[in-house]
Amino acid sequence: MNRETGRRGGLLSLWIVLSSCAPEAQPAPQAPPLQYAPPPYGYPQGYYGAPAPPQGYGAPPAYGAPPQGYGAPAPAPAPAPAPPPGHPLLVPLVGAVMWQAETRAVLEELKAHLTPDKVALVTGIPLVFDPDPTQVNAFAGCDDSGAPFIAGTEGLLEAIDGMSQTKATDELFGTRTYDTYAQVAAAALVSPQGGSARLPMGIVPAQLVPDLRRLSRAHEIFDEIVAFTFGHELSHHYLGHTGCAHGQPAGIPPAVSDLGRLASSVVPLFNQPNEIAADSAGCINVLDTGRARAGVAYRWSEEGGLWLLDFFSRLDAAAGASPLLGFLRTHPSPALRIPVVQGVAATWRFQHPG
């Protein structure tokens, strides 16, 4: 699809942001063990009760240790506290069917907190999933008939699950499983064989896997990262970047078999002002939606976006000069996007105290 027809088939692809940037994968050597504590704008008070101190878990595994065997001694699980009244633990999100359903629910929640003029533009836009596990991608575009859609790949959902599972483990148990996961996933994704970001067994210590607090926290993190991811894509439609979202009846998504072609027909020169606008609008949408959750459920913040961009920074560092990922170098660097998200959130918080 050439540039002239790019408006119809054009896609604004967000994720594969593997352009050159500072290799943030270099770990800090001696961060203290993380205590599990509510983030400053995260949980309603008492959501999990008092955080359990990590004493007795021993030292966390060495940062950056080679992943062979993932063999650091596993910490002992903490006794699981009873969930506080009014805030039951969330169900585990396991497998593609649940991930897709959760993503649809998050997207609908985001839409519900847009202004009415924007809601009118994005109503009925279908969300479709590409089952390709080797691609970590989400994009907004127009199909061959000029109808808007949003797409995400199985590889993206696997990556968000991997991030969520490991970050939840680290928050609760003071481990460094996210560092190991990001290292392993990046190596797999940039390999010539085309690996996936699926969380390998053994990175999360086996005895911690069924911990209900861990699974509930992973659910929250999954939602928060998905909210930023798809809030960004949604904004490409209501900001007019795709040019095909005008308010439409519920649409039929493009065939899954067409998604690879549509994704590869991205207009070659990404539009950096549009990407910054989408990061800003998407972040504000997440923060507005998160504020409405205060006292009812986990309150989303920009943290999910920053986690995602950290993951992409690590992929970027792993990709190096890989020609396999050269086509991915058409999107803003995470190093540029992280301060945008932080600045937007700081401004929003100033404008919305409390």
**Chain residues in the site for Zn ion (CB under 5 A):** 12, 14, 275, 278
State the minimum distance, in angstroms, from the CB of residue 140 to Zn ion: 7
Identify the sign of the CA torsion 221, 338, 233, 298: positive
For 150, the enclosing helix (H) or strand (E) is strand 148-153
Q: How far is the CB of 124 from Zn ion (least distance, A)?
A: 21
Give the nearest distance from C-beta 234 to Zn ion in angstroms.
Answer: 10
- Nearer to Zn ion by Cβ, of 170 and 275: the residue is 275
AA letter at 184: V
Angle at 273 between CA 161 and CA 230, to 5 degrees: 25
**Closest chain position to Zn ion (CB):** 14
Pick the closer one to Zn ion by CB: 208 or 315: 315
Min dist CB 13 to Zn ion, Å, is 6
The nearer residue to Zn ion, 100 or 330, going by C-beta atoms, is 330
**Among candidate residues 17, 13, 18, 16, the one with its CA nearest the CA of residue 318:** 18
Closer to Zn ion at the Cβ: 214 or 237? 237
The residue among 175 and 333 lying less far from Zn ion, judged by its C-beta, is 333
Q: Least distance (Å) from Zn ion to the CB of residue 232?
A: 6
Give whole-number Cα distances, 95 to 68, 158, 207, 220, 231, in Å.
Answer: 25, 9, 20, 16, 22
Q: Which residues contact 172 (CB under 8 A, 6 or more apart)?
A: 36, 52, 78, 208, 211, 213, 214, 217
How far, in Å, CA of 129 to CA of 106, rounded?
15
- Nearest approach, Cβ of residue 278 and Zn ion (Å): 5
Q: How many CB atoms lie within 10 A of CB 107?
A: 22
Cβ nearer to Zn ion, comparing 211 with 275 = 275
